[in-house]
């Protein structure tokens, strides 16, 4: 298991804390899934929500504050500073949104903010695309973890560009990477782990499920399955059939 700025996670599952039916359900979800990190948005959903922040702190897992909803590097930097004060952590999941409909990251703003925040002692988890060139620049700028998207936030599409993600993984084999956003089903999470990613981060798929606790448990099992599968050296797909029992020499009548 790779470490995230010095922290090794027991469970490669990170969960967002928005959109649950109630804080009680949120707590039950963390208990049932053993999720190892809680992300929390500071910008709007929790603005001055001391009561809610206490609940997040009480989950007993490291908190990864995010800059969700920020549309410029400057906004994201301000939010990151607020987050550091509120949650007393240098971790920041950096989101700089470039497009209101797709919520796609703005690569230029992201790079700028990563550079400034990393220089200021933040441990940056940039929410990025699968773009390899951008990944290299983010690492140069001081990020030691990457969070490539699976698909647009809240879309539930899974791993939208498998080729791009596979290439990104292969290009930076030693960089801890979390697939963040776009996962809709546990099979998507297993897929990400099988592909060699180190963790997944999701929110909507669990929070908006009819039974959030049941879905959280399903995701926990999926990331466990994906990790076991990856460590067990999976077979490569092949085009030709290969019988598992040899045919030649078999008795026939």
Partner 1 sequence: MADVTVIGAGVAGLCAAYAASKAGLDVRLIDRKGSPGAHGCSWWAGGMLAPFCEGAVAEPVIVSHGQQAAAFWAKVTEVTHRGSLVVALQRDREELARFARRTTRHVGVDDLAALEPDLAHHKSALFFEDEAHLDPRLALSDLVAALAETGVQIEQAEVAPDDIQGPVIDARGMAAALPGLRGVRGEMVVLRAPEIRLSRPVRLLHPRHPLYIVPRAGGAFMLGATQLESTDRRGVTARAVLELLSAAYALDPRFAEAEILETGADLRPAYPDNIPRVTLCGRVLRLNGLFRHGYLMAPALAGQAVEYLTKGIKGDLVHED
* 22 is a site residue for partner 1 (CB under 8 A): yes
* 99 is a site residue for partner 1 (CB under 8 A): no
User: Is position 93 annotated as part of the catalytic site?
Assistant: yes
Indicate the residue among 51 and 249 with the shorter CB distance to partner 1: 51
Binding-residue pattern over the window 153 to 192 for partner 1, x denoting contact by CB under 8 A: -x--------------------------------------
In the block, tokens 């959109």 appear at 19
The catalytic position among 57, 93, 144, 250 is: 93
Out of 2, 11, 34, 52, the only residue in the binding site for partner 1 (CB under 8 A) is 52
Indicate the residue among 82 and 225 with the shorter CB distance to partner 1: 82
Out of 8, 50, 242, 245, the only residue in the binding site for partner 1 (CB under 8 A) is 50
Q: For residue 40, give every residue at least 6 positions away whose Cβ sits within 8 Å of its Cβ, in sequence order, or none.
A: 16, 17, 46, 53, 56, 63, 64, 65, 66, 87
Query: Using H for helix, E for strand and C for coil, what is the string for 194-244?
Result: HCCCCEEEECHHHHCCCCHHHHHHHHHHHHHHHHHHHHCCCCCCCCCCCCC
Indicate the residue among 185 and 221 with the shorter CB distance to partner 1: 185
Rounded CA separation 5/126 (Å)? 13
Rounded CA separation 247/34 (Å)? 47
Indicate the residue among 49 and 164 with the shorter CB distance to partner 1: 49
User: What is the Cα gyration radius of the chain?
Assistant: 19
Q: Smallest distance, Å, CB 210 to partner 1?
A: 6
């Amino acid at each position: 298991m790779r470490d995230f700025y010095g922290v090794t996670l027991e469970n490669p599952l990170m969960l967002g804390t928005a959109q649950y039916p109630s804080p009680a359900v949120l707590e039950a979800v963390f208990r049932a899934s053993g999720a190892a990190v809680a992300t929390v948005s500071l910008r709007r959903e929790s603005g001055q929500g001391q009561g809610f922040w206490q609940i997040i702190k009480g989950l007993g897992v490291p908190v990864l504050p995010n800059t969700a909803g920020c549309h410029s590097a400057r906004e994201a930097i301000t939010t990151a500073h607020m987050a550091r004060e509120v949650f007393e952590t240098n971790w920041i999941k950096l989101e700089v949104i470039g497009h209101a409909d797709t919520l796609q990251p703005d690569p230029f703003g992201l790079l700028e903010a990563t550079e400034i925040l990393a220089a200021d002692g933040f441990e940056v988890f940039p929410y990025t695309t699968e773009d390899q060139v951008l990944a290299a620049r983010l690492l140069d700028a001081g990020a030691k973890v990457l969070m490539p998207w699976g698909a647009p936030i809240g879309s539930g599409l899974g791993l939208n560009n498998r080729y791009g993600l596979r290439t990104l993984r292969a290009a930076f084999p030693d960089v801890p990477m979390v697939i963040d956003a776009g996962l809709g089903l546990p099979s998507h999470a297993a897929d990400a782990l099988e592909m060699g990613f180190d963790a997944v981060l999701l929110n909507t798929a669990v929070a908006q499920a009819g039974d959030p606790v049941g879905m959280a448990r399903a995701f926990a099992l999926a990331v466990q399955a994906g990790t076991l599968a990856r460590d067990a050296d999976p077979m490569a797909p092949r085009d030709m059939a290969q019988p598992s029992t040899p045919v030649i020499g078999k008795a026939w009548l």
